[in-house]
Amino acid sequence: MLKGKNILIGITGAIAAYKVLELIRLFKKNNANVKVVTTPNALNFVTKTTIESLSQSPLCIEQFDIKEYKPEHINLTDESDIFIIAPISANTISKITYGICDNLLTSTFCAYKKQVIIAPCMNTNMWENPAIQKNIEILKERGIKVIEPEEGFLACGREGKGRLANINTIFEAAKEYLLPEQILKGKKIVITAGGTKENIDAVRYIGNYSSGKMGTAIADYAFKLGAEVVLITTVDTDRKYKVIRVNTAEEMFTEVKEEFKNAYSLIMAAAVSDYRVKNKSEQKIKKDGAPLILELVENPDILKEMSKIKTNNQIVVGFCAESQNLIENAKNKIKNKNCDFICANDISKKDSGFSSNFNELYIIDKELDIFHIEKTEKQKAAKIILERIYGTSK
């Protein structure tokens, strides 16, 4: 099932370290390649010989054990598809939150750019400590998948939350990331992201606060679902699928029209400016003490124009960012634009939406039925949006 997948497992000095031997066995049983990196204290709970026997790979412990031309922590990040730290102690959680690299495991985490899953294990009082809970929230905001501990009898003799999550739960979370169902295989999906920038002069522009995180998260997950992804974005990004970089609404409109011709679906997650400057200056405008008056003209309504030309076999999804009357405005928008779905979010909320790693959304279809996505990480919201619109969770 996982043949060709490279799994990196990190083990820290927590009492449940021995349980992770079963996780290694599960990955090997499914034909994955497994490498293990531990903190020095982890070897108080599991032995080097046991780990190497199960993983069939040398254990990585020392920070500067350089076998080739690359430092070991860079080798580990380059070679693996996912990094699972289980169990992760309160100490290591705090270190990785603030970028402390005092051993091979924490250095590897700091250099790692792909998906990380952590499964904490500790005493109940430690888990409930405000500092640990704050660190967990920070890591979640950064896209780290946290599999929270379970309640039960702990090694310290107490009952409470702190036990390492079930090994099968950790395994399934990794498998879901590595092997998402290919529901979009062979289908071309065009996705827009970011806020457009309308030039005033050579150095200034009219823009908005959109970071492009939601659109990019949707594009990433669509790619995992097998889609031929085209991301048209105002944000510089390096991806394995096709990315077209634009700045203005007119540039985005041109690219969307071209790419939509043979696409299965269009998802307009970008925050497109409604207006542009009529007579932008090619040079920087100098202050002269007088008010600067800008004449604005309307930009093309990309969502509306694409909905006009779409065929019965194409799906168009819009996004609606509102600061008041969210549902009412979203329902009016889906009627006026004639798209198939609207994803509405409230930008007045400080803990989600623009520039945040979280989002809370309402998906509204042409029958005006509403599906609520409660506040969650944008990566998870992207998964729910795609599955809701294209089939598996309806």
Find the helix packing angle between 20-29 and 48-55, rounded to 10°: 20
Task: Give helix then strand counts, H and E, for the chain.
Answer: 13, 19
| Short-list 246, 243, 235, CA closest to 299 | 246
Give the span between the Cα atoms of 179 and 12, in whole angstroms.
Answer: 27
- Within 13 A of 197's CA, how many CA atoms are on the CB side? 15
Beta bridge partners of 82: 7
Q: Which of 156, 320, 339, 343 is catalytic?
A: 156
The yes-or-no answer on residue 339 being catalytic is no
Are 109 and 80 a contacting pair, CB within 8 Å? no
**CB 238, CB 267: distance < 8 Å:** no
The token duo for 165 is 């999550």
Count CA atoms within 13 Å of residue 247 on its CB side.
8
Distance CA 29, CA 296 (A): 63
Closest alpha carbon to 219 in 208, 235, 230: 230
**Residue 358 to residues 95, 213, 235, 323, 346, Cα–Cα distance (Å):** 23, 9, 18, 17, 12
**Residue 154 CB contacts under 8 Å (≥ 6 apart), including other chains:** 123, 124, 160, 162, 163
The catalytic residue positions are: 156
